[in-house]
Amino acid sequence: MGSTGLNCQAQAAYTQPMSDPRAQLQLLRSLIESAPALPERGGWLALVDAAMPASAASGGSPEMTRLRQDVEDAEHARDAANLQRMKVAGQLNTLHKSLSAAVPEVAAGSDAQSDALRRIEHLVSHGASAPGALEAARAAEMEAPMPGRAVLEAVIAGERRFSKAQLEFTIAEAMVLTGWAQTPLELMAEGEPWLAALILKNQGESG
């Protein structure tokens, strides 16, 4: 790039509505670096560096780097906590649906916990008397948004695939388990059996 072209680009950069002068200096420095034939290029770089704080020239101070890392760690911790709350809520919902399917003769009331306790008492006293009740309960478990052991083992064995909701939740959990080292697309590329094995291994270690 010739000096005339550099001057034109630099002038355009300075006429742009930038609120931070450091951004203007950083842009000017990058333009100078991309023009090896510029006369006294080294001198221009030295002048820009002298006018710009060392932290801006090097891409950020150690304090800013630590701050960004702290913010990222806090966001990851928040996401992990939200995921755990979703898992607990999903497991409770699946339990309620399974009990409802297994004991349809116990009508639902206004309190889900009370309904669950009454259905458990009925199972203890009478067993599952409704035809197909156990099959309906198992079906509720297999279609739950948060895949349980039975679903994970079936996916690993190639006997079934995740539902859309199960795949979305599995990917979210896999991101937490892998420390956000892979994107959702990269995790999907690993394949559903790999994802299921990762989740199942974590369940075994935390159980």
Residues 128 and 149 in one domain: no
Measured CA to CA, the distance from residue 77 to residue 141 in angstroms comes to: 29
Q: pLDDT tens digits, residue range 52-64?
A: 665 444 455 677 6
Q: How far is CA 13 from CA 31, 40, 52, 69, 178, in A?
A: 10, 21, 16, 31, 42
At residue 53, the 3 state secondary structure works out as coil
| 89, 144 contact by CB (below 8 A) | no
Query: Is 67 inside any structural domain?
Result: no
In-domain check, residue 69: no
Closest CA to 129 of 156, 103, 90, 153: 103
Q: In this structure, are 157 and 194 located in the same domain?
A: yes
Asked whether residue 162 is domain-assigned, the answer is: yes
On whether both 133 and 85 belong to a single domain, the answer is yes
Assess whether 131 and 153 both reside in one domain: no
Q: Are residues 190 and 151 in the same domain?
A: yes
Residue range 5-19, pLDDT digits in tens: 545 444 444 444 444
Angstrom distance (rounded) from CA 152 to CA 169: 12
Kindly state whether residue 62 falls inside one of the protein's structural domains. Answer: no
Residue 133 lies in a domain: yes
Q: Are residues 100 and 49 in the same domain?
A: no
Give the model confidence (pLDDT) of 184-196 as tens digits: 999 999 999 999 9
Asked, for residue 45, whether it belongs to a domain, the answer is yes
For residue 46, name the pLDDT band (cuts at 50, 70, 90): confident
Q: Are 113 and 84 contained in the same domain?
A: yes
Spatial distance between the Cα atoms of 93 and 145, rounded to a whole number of angstroms: 10
Count of domains observed in the chain: 3
Domain match, 12 and 53 both: yes
Same domain for 126 and 160, yes or no, is no
Do 128 and 83 belong to one domain?
A: yes
Query: Is residue 40 within 8 Å of 6, Cβ to Cβ?
Result: no
Tell me, yes or no, whether 16 and 43 share the same domain.
yes
SS3 content of the chain, % helix, strand, coil (to 5): 75, 0, 25
3-state SS of 7-33?
Answer: HHHHHHHHHCCCCCHHHHHHHHHHHHH
**Domain membership flag for residue 70:** no
User: Do 153 and 132 share a structural domain?
Assistant: no
Write out the residue range of the structural domain in which residue 97 sits. Answer: 76-137
pLDDT tens digit sequence for 107-161: 888 887 788 888 888 777 776 556 666 777 778 788 888 898 999 999 999 999 9
